[in-house]
Amino acid sequence: MVGPAVDRRIRLHGKPRSAFITTCHTLVYGASLDETGTGMNHGESEEWLSARPNWRRWGWYGLGVVVLASIVGSVNRGLIALIAEPMKQSMALSDSEIGLLTGLALTFVTAIATYPVGWIADRFDRRWLLAGCILIWTVATVGFGFATSFRGLFLCAMGIAAGEAVLGPVTYSMIPDLFPKERWVAANFVFVTATLLGTYLGMALGGSLFGWVAANAAVLPGFVAGLEPWRATIVLSALTGPPLAGMVFVMRLVRMTPPHAKSAQSGVAAYFRENARTTVGIFFGFGLSYAAFGAQAQWNAVILQRLFKETPAQIGQFLGVFGAAAAVAGVCLAWLAVRSLRARHGDETPMLVARLALLCALVVSLPIPFASKAWHFYAVILAKIGFTFMANSLSPTVLQLMSPSPIRGRVVALGGMVTIVAASFMPWLVGLLSDHVFTGPRGIILAMAAVAIPGLAGGLLALHWGSRTLGETIARAQAREVHP
């Protein structure tokens, strides 16, 4: 545990590093750096470096490959949201079915597949696993483009989700095999930032690809000639898979996985019993708020096309560029707010800032049902992206503060699972309401508002309720750190 003597900072190579960077490390590994900022003793460092004499070249190459894999995965997911409206018209799908594809098939299956993939990653060559999963999502993406029924689309979407489930556990377990421990912070920060930006970069690339396909149907390769633009676009997006898998095989890994001691399950159970109010409030608060954001994000492109006659290319390019800018602005604003308020509010500062940001997100969401022009809706989207990322970028910090290091990884994982499960069903609920309750011309935007706004309000209430005991939970966690 880093003591007050270093003013909540760690030192890396003799230079101070802020708690924000420490958070990036603990987000991934569920453990804080030691006071030297490395977590590696001299003997361990020598052993690592002797096994990898060319780690600088191959480490950054490997990180570049997994970042590229993350971006490709984001392109696939972003494309499915962008082509949802033309796909609906082409295959006579209901909004409920679209919601099942973008929610249950893609998100919930990822949650289910993550644990088996992580188990395999600890026991077999991670390059084979990563390359194999890339090929799985490549085949599933091609199948999605040629599917002729909702069942076929659903099964292929599940295949895409299962393949992409590899990115989290494999990447986070690869980094220690690519870099010495004193470089983990930088490597993790690069990957986390690239993943954040990759979501919107993927949307921009996907929108550009759709626009190019629609404008150049006559010169498309034979295997996609004659396909509808949405089908051709999704199939062409899969062509990056085989070269990417080949790049994975070129990576040089030397596994140096240290044995981990088993923590008693009774310790985890005792923690949750002792801190029931805090954990339930925080888990469901952040889970509902992020799921409400996801419910809107999955339907933004459909609403913009159906109500405001925007094209997928226009939507992807605009949200790809300006959505990324809004997300980065939100994360930076969160860091500045925490840094400014920490002296007054201590360890509860991240929660305070997150709640204020979500309150702002709720306020800017209220005009959604009344948006009458595309720019009105775009403005709401960008404001909500900024405030939501401002809040949810702090959720790992809150989880780390409230959990002692021996069980931190499991606490963070369980909090993430609540978010994933909630995010899996909210897009489907929007579609269900659009089909059966709000059936008028503006039914889809009313259905989305009816899910996203109450979901965000419910998340805020849950966070407020859980925050009442957060200070006590943090104190217990810190006491356990000091007195193991």
What is the residue extent of each domain of the chain? 1-39, 54-254, 264-484
Whole-Å CA distances, 140 to 77, 81, 149, 238: 12, 16, 14, 9
Query: Tokens for 50?
Result: 């002797």
Q: What confidence score (pLDDT) does residue 312 get?
A: 86
Q: What confidence score (pLDDT) does residue 264 get?
A: 42
Q: What confidence score (pLDDT) does residue 265 get?
A: 46
Q: What confidence score (pLDDT) does residue 355 get?
A: 95
Q: What confidence score (pLDDT) does residue 73 get?
A: 79
Q: What confidence score (pLDDT) does residue 211 get?
A: 85
Residue type, 444: I
Q: What confidence score (pLDDT) does residue 176 get?
A: 62
Q: What confidence score (pLDDT) does residue 397 get?
A: 73
C-alpha–C-alpha distance, residues 357 and 381, integer Å: 15
| pTM (predicted TM-score) | 0.67
Per-residue pLDDT of the chain (484 residues; tens, 9 = 90+): 334 433 333 333 333 444 433 444 343 333 333 333 333 443 444 444 444 545 566 777 888 888 888 778 777 777 888 888 889 889 998 888 888 887 778 777 776 776 676 667 666 777 888 888 889 889 999 999 999 999 999 999 888 888 877 776 666 567 666 776 566 556 665 676 677 677 777 777 778 888 888 888 878 888 888 888 889 989 988 888 899 888 888 776 655 444 344 444 447 778 888 999 999 999 999 989 988 988 888 899 899 999 999 988 888 888 888 988 898 888 888 888 888 998 888 888 889 999 999 999 999 999 999 999 999 999 999 999 999 988 877 877 787 678 776 666 566 657 767 777 777 788 889 999 999 999 888 999 999 999 999 999 999 999 999 999 999 998 888 776 544 4
- CATH architecture of the domain 54-254 equals Up-down Bundle (1.20)
Q: How many CB atoms lie within 10 A of CB 228?
A: 18
**Which residue intervals of 324-469 are DSSP H helices?**
324-345, 349-365, 374-392, 395-401, 408-436, 443-467
Angle made by CA atoms 171, 166, 129, in degrees to the nearest 5: 90
Q: Which three-class secondary structure state does DSSP give residue 12?
A: strand
Sign of CA dihedral 204, 293, 96, 300: negative
Q: What confidence score (pLDDT) does residue 448 get?
A: 93
Check whether domain 264-484 has CATH 3.40.50.980, yes or no: no
C-alpha–C-alpha distance, residues 455 and 358, integer Å: 11
Q: Which of 212, 205, 202 has its CA nearest to residue 164?
A: 202
Q: What confidence score (pLDDT) does residue 21 get?
A: 38
Residue type, 210: F
Q: What confidence score (pLDDT) does residue 204 get?
A: 78
Q: What confidence score (pLDDT) does residue 78 get?
A: 76
Q: What confidence score (pLDDT) does residue 41 get?
A: 41
Domains 54-254 and 264-484 agree in fold: yes
As a 3-state breakdown, the chain gives helix, strand, coil percent values, each rounded to 5, of: 80, 0, 15
